[in-house]
Amino acid sequence: MESMNIEIDYTAHEENVTANGGPGDWGGLNPFEPDYRVNPYPQINALRENDPVNLTPVNTWRISRFDDIGHVLRHAKTSQTLSDGSSPGFNPLDERGSFHDFMLNKDGETHARLRQLVVRSLNMKTVKKMENSVEETVKEIMDKAMAEGGLDLIKDMAMVIPSRMVCSIVGIPEEDREMFDLLTAQRTNAFFGRFLPPENQKATAQAGNDMADYFEDLIAKRKKNPGDDLISELLLSAKQDSTLSEYDLISQTIGLVIAGFETTIGLIGNGTRALLENPDQLAILRDDPSKVNATIEEGLRYDTPVHFIWRVLTEPFEVGGKMLPKDAVLWLHLAAGNRDPRRFEDPDTFNILREKNANVSFGGGAHFCLGNQLARMEARHALLEFCERTKGVTVTPDEIIWSPSFFRVMGHYPLNFS
Ligand code: HEM
């Protein structure tokens, strides 16, 4: 997929972050450095040990210990926006198709109301109904891979599953899916759009515009011809609730498509890679497939797809021995917390038999990931089928190409079977 290969310059651009310009330092861990993607864990571990509540040069506080992250999520009074209503991460000039009106950027009752609109489309019952379709997709992918002697785990499997599922939930027809994958990958960068150089901001904004155009059209079609999909359901809700604009619907739909895409690619891709790089663990799973859920939890912990989430303090709050002021922007470093030795024994080891494996990969509090059950179900089928079908086969990975995405996700992971 082309846009996964577009090299994005993530260097935090001074001119874009003047509102945030601060006196801090990166403490050896700058997520805008291209190298951050290859193996960030030595620096993550050093940051967590040396400066667990770290003020960055873009004036955000990085919280990297497991208990401190939990403390903020449970006890701090926070908002998703600054007190002037602007987002600490999105490009303020970004308009159409932006995340400003997505539930993840909202607080309190507005947030709860928007969340409620899509809960039904992602609950256990709905996820269960989608299981057959995921199973069929995975089988089809592995049939082809076995016949061809390998696959690109990302392009041929990890991307296809969430893309098909999210599109079917929302109501995007199959023929538009690949175009949508490109737009989604490009638009994902908008989560931290404020920090991107102008040319990347432009491409990201264009993807937002294209997505908004697309959904305007689709909504018009569903108004005439309702279907069994999220857009049709949202339209019904909008009829009953005059405070819900069509634009709110577009924002939730775009946000949902993006939230469910690269994150899940990260889980399936990083989880499979961890198994291949730890053959003893792969053997355990092959011998006892009932360990698949534990494998997924360990995959989420060991190579966390979403490295950090944000919160803004609405009143001063003490964390890790530092008193942070109102309006402080916190980056909760989930990947760092998930490798905290205070919480996890031998945290840099991938161990699917780990007993205490509850992690923070899906965030927490009111914004706890709504798609966690769907993502886990998709990963379960992908890992099981992959392990089963490649039993007795030598799997040789070629070079990994990291995606420029702000999430931790490979762009390509070619595997050869022999
Ligand atoms: C392994 C895959 C996934 C990971 C690691 C992940 C991670 C996250 C994280 C970290 C958050 C922010 C939580 C917070 O700020 O406390 C989030 C929010 C969200 N996720 Fe996921 N996610 C995944 C898959 C999905 C899927 C498949 C969907 C839906 C199709 C989805 C929908 C959402 C939504 C709607 C929110 C916003 C919830 C709110 O603001 O109330 N996610 N996710």
Domain residue spans of the chain: 2-417
115 lines ligand 1 (CB under 6 A): yes
**β partners of residue 237:** none
What pLDDT score does 14 carry?
Answer: 47
Q: 3-state SS of the chain?
A: CHHHHCCCCCCCCHHHCCCCCCCCCCCCCCCCCHHHHCCCHHHHHHHHHHCCEEECCCCEEEECCHHHHHHHHHHCCEECCCCCCCCCCCCCCCCCCCCCCCHHHCCHHHHHHHHHHHHHHHCHHHHHHCHHHHHHHHHHHHHHHHHHCEEEHHHHHHCHHHHHHHHHHHCCCHHHHHHHHHHHHHHHHHHHHHHCCHHHHHHHHHHHHHHHHHHHHHHHHHHHCCCCCHHHHHHHHHHHCCCCCHHHHHHHHHHHHHHCCHHHHHHHHHHHHHHHHCHHHHHHHHHCHHHHHHHHHHHHHHCCCCCEEEEEECCCEEECCEEECCCCEEEEEHHHHCCCCCCCCCCCCCCCCCCCCCCCCCCCHHHCCCCHHHHHHHHHHHHHHHHHHCCCCCEEECCCEECCCCCCCEEECEEEEC
158 lines ligand 1 (CB under 6 A): no
310 lines ligand 1 (CB under 6 A): no
What pLDDT score does 19 carry?
Answer: 41
What pLDDT score does 6 carry?
Answer: 41
Query: In the CATH scheme, what is the code of domain 2-417?
Result: 1.10.630.10
374 lines ligand 1 (CB under 6 A): yes
- Determine the residue of 256, 264, 362 to mutate for testing ligand 1's pocket, defined as the one with the most ligand atoms within 8 A of the Cβ atom: 362
230 lines ligand 1 (CB under 6 A): no
| 287 CA distance to ligand 1 middle (Å) | 31
If you take atom 17 of ligand 1, which residue's CA is the nearest one? 369
| 395 CA distance to ligand 1 middle (Å) | 31
If you take atom 6 of ligand 1, which residue's CA is the nearest one? 362
What pLDDT score does 9 carry?
Answer: 52
259 lines ligand 1 (CB under 6 A): yes
Contact of 383 with 296, CB cutoff 8 Å: yes
Atom of ligand 1 nearest to the CA of 115: 41
Q: How far is CA 167 from CA 105, 130, 170, 255, in A?
A: 22, 12, 5, 13
What pLDDT score does 22 carry?
Answer: 59
| Integer Cα distance of 103 and 62 in angstroms | 23
- Determine the residue of 263, 267, 301 to mutate for testing ligand 1's pocket, defined as the one with the most ligand atoms within 8 A of the Cβ atom: 263
| 121 CA distance to ligand 1 middle (Å) | 14
| Integer Cα distance of 233 and 229 in angstroms | 6
Q: Give the global pTM.
A: 0.93
Cα(first)–Cα(last) distance of the chain, in Å?
26
Cβ within 8 Å of residue 415, ≥6 positions away: 150, 151, 152, 153, 276, 395, 396, 397, 398
| 363 CA distance to ligand 1 middle (Å) | 8
Instruction: Spell out the per-residue pLDDT of the chain, length 418, in tens.
Output: 333 344 445 455 444 443 444 578 899 998 888 778 889 999 999 999 999 999 998 889 999 999 999 999 999 999 999 998 989 988 877 778 788 899 999 999 999 999 999 998 899 998 999 999 999 999 999 999 999 999 999 999 999 999 999 999 999 999 999 898 888 988 888 888 888 878 888 888 899 999 999 999 999 999 999 999 999 989 988 888 888 888 888 999 999 999 999 999 999 999 999 999 999 999 999 999 999 999 999 999 999 999 999 999 999 999 999 999 999 999 999 999 999 999 999 999 999 999 999 999 999 999 999 999 999 999 999 999 999 999 999 999 999 999 888 889 999 999 999 9
What pLDDT score does 246 carry?
Answer: 85
Q: How far is CA 236 from CA 170, 219, 221, in A?
A: 14, 11, 14
> Which pair of tokens denotes residue 50?
């040396």
What pLDDT score does 5 carry?
Answer: 40
What pLDDT score does 242 carry?
Answer: 81
371 lines ligand 1 (CB under 6 A): yes
Contact of 389 with 367, CB cutoff 8 Å: no
Contact of 337 with 69, CB cutoff 8 Å: yes
